[in-house]
Every structure is written in C-alpha cells, then in structure tokens.
Amino acid sequence: MIKKAFFVTTLIGLLVVQAMAQGYGDRGQGMGRKGQREYARGRGAGSGGGFNGGMNALVASLPHEELSEAEMKGLFQMREEEKLARDVYLTLYQDWDHQIFKNIARSEQRHMNAVKTLLDKYNLMDPVIDDTVGIFSDPKIQNLYYELVQKGRISHVHSLQVGALIEDLDIFDLKEFIQTTDNVDIKTVYQNLLKGSRNHLRSFVSRLSAYGEVYEGTYLTADEIDEIVNSPMERGLYDQEGNPFYPNTGW
Ligand SMILES: [Fe+2]
C-alpha cells in the first residue's frame, strides 16, 4: 500500500514536472520567477515554437491579480478592437490585394489571441461570440467597421489612411488602458500590443509616404505620430514597462 502510494506520488510529480517543461519548452527555460530578466535569459535555446506559446507561457507565469471593472472593460474593448483591425485589413486585402493588409491581419490575430489568453486566465466572457469577419458585439465597433471599410474602398491611399487610423486608435486606447491597470499580466500584454501597433503605424505611414501622402493623426497628436514613425521598428517580447526583455520571438 505504501509502495503504491509512493509510486502514485512519484508519478504525479513526474507528470507535473513534464507538464511544466512542456509549457515552457518553446522558450527553452524553467519556471523560477526571479524577475523577468531571469526569464529573459532563459536556460536553453528552445525550439522557438511559435509566438503565441511564448505569450501564453508569459501570461501564465505572471501573478493572478484581482480585476477592477475598468480592467475588465479594457480587456473586452481591446479584444474587439484587435478584431476590428484584423477584419478591416482582411476585407481591404480582398479589395486591394496588397500584401501589407495580409501581413498585418496575421499580426492582429496574434493580438486577439493574446487578449483571449487574459480573458481565459480570469474566466471572463469573450465578447467575440461570432468570429466571422465583420461581426462585432459592441455596436460602436460594428459601426466603425462599416465606416472604415467604406472609406478604405475609395482608393488604395484611402485604405492606407484607414490602416494608420486604426493603429492610431489602438495606440491611444492602449496607452489609456495601461494607465488604468496595475496588473502586471495585463500591462505586459498591452505593452506588446502597443509595440505591434507602433510597428503597424510605421508600415502604413511609410507606404503612404511612397504616394506622397502623410498621416496627421486623429486620436494621437501629429507630434506623437511623428515621434513613432521617425523611430525604428521594434522586435521581441516586451515587459510590463514596455522594455524589450526577450528578443527572439515572433512578437
Ligand atoms: Fe495593429
């Protein structure tokens, strides 16, 4: 009996160790949280198994903290705003067949997944009830989708202006939501979404400039837009303060 109990305990122990190793295997590192720098260094090369695994593991490694109403609202809104970006770009890609929309839509899907990781972690309902392109729960976002698609269909330049406007809105909202959360996991995800949006804005504005067009900013000021587009593309996973700490990911 004692032998059996010992065997079962050992087996459970092995399974837990194995599960942890698998969960973190894609970044090739252990669990011990001595701060994110430790996480960043890691212990092995890993297989680099996909960005979202990296973000899932990161979110799971951060503390489970209480959520305020404002934090919940922010998560619901960002989940649908990332879908708005994905869906507008997918629709405009159908119309214009320009690779920029296809590439950035793929990134928006990753952003949607990252917010979903948080919704799941906190057992929150997903506002994306229907993942069909162009369908939203929030009527304001639904209207914005129609408005932006209509504008983006006028010309290719209009479609790029729409892209820049979506990223402008995302950056504006994310900055505000970062101010109103003290949860490390939420801040970390938002900092990574923010970095992605700055890169997308750089891409759209650079494409516009090839047509001799500028994007002046709708939500952010022209100076804020300039500061972003005149700085280099950013790569890697960011921490809750927006500092790079894990360079080799698809983020
Ligand atoms: Fe984006």
Q: How far is the CA of 21 from the centre of ligand 1 (A)?
A: 32
Long-range contacts of 235-243 (CB under 8 A, 24+ apart): 237/54, 237/55, 237/58, 237/192, 238/188, 238/191, 238/192, 238/195, 239/36, 239/188, 239/191, 240/184, 240/187, 240/188, 240/191, 241/187, 241/191, 242/191, 242/194, 242/195
pLDDT in tens, the chain (251 residues): 444 444 434 433 333 333 333 333 333 333 333 333 333 333 333 333 444 457 888 899 899 999 999 999 999 999 999 999 999 999 999 999 999 999 999 999 999 999 999 999 999 999 999 999 999 999 999 999 999 999 999 999 999 999 999 999 999 999 999 999 999 999 999 999 999 999 999 999 999 999 999 999 999 999 999 999 999 999 888 999 998 876 656 66
**Spacing, Cα 200 to ligand 1 middle (Å):** 6
Ligand 1 midpoint to CA 6 (Å): 52
**Do 84 and 57 touch, CB atoms closer than 8 A?**
no
Specify the pTM.
0.78
Q: Which helix (H) or strand (E) holds 245?
A: strand 244-246
Distance 10 CA to ligand 1 centre (A): 47
CATH of 51-246, one of 3.30.590.10, 1.20.1260.10, 3.10.20.30, 2.60.120.560: 1.20.1260.10
Query: What is the chain's percent helix, strand, coil content, to nearest 5?
Result: 65, 0, 30
Residues with CB in 5 Å of ion ligand 1: 85, 197, 200
* CA 61–ligand 1 middle distance (angstroms): 25
Q: How far is the CA of 201 from the centre of ligand 1 (A)?
A: 8
> Ligand 1 mean position to 229 CA, how many Å?
14
For residue 249, how far is its CA from the centre of ligand 1 (angstroms)? Answer: 17
Q: What is the CA radius of gyration of the chain?
A: 20
For residue 78, report the distance from its CA to the centre of ligand 1, in Å: 11
CA of 158 to the centre of ligand 1 (A): 17
Q: What is the pLDDT of residue 250?
A: 65
Rounded to the nearest whole angstrom, what is the distance from the C-alpha of residue 19 to the centroid of ligand 1?
A: 33
Q: Where does the chain hold its CATH 1.20.1260.10 domain(s)?
A: 51-246
Q: How far apart are CA 208 and CA 41, in angstroms?
A: 39
Residue 85 alpha carbon to ligand 1 centre in Å: 6
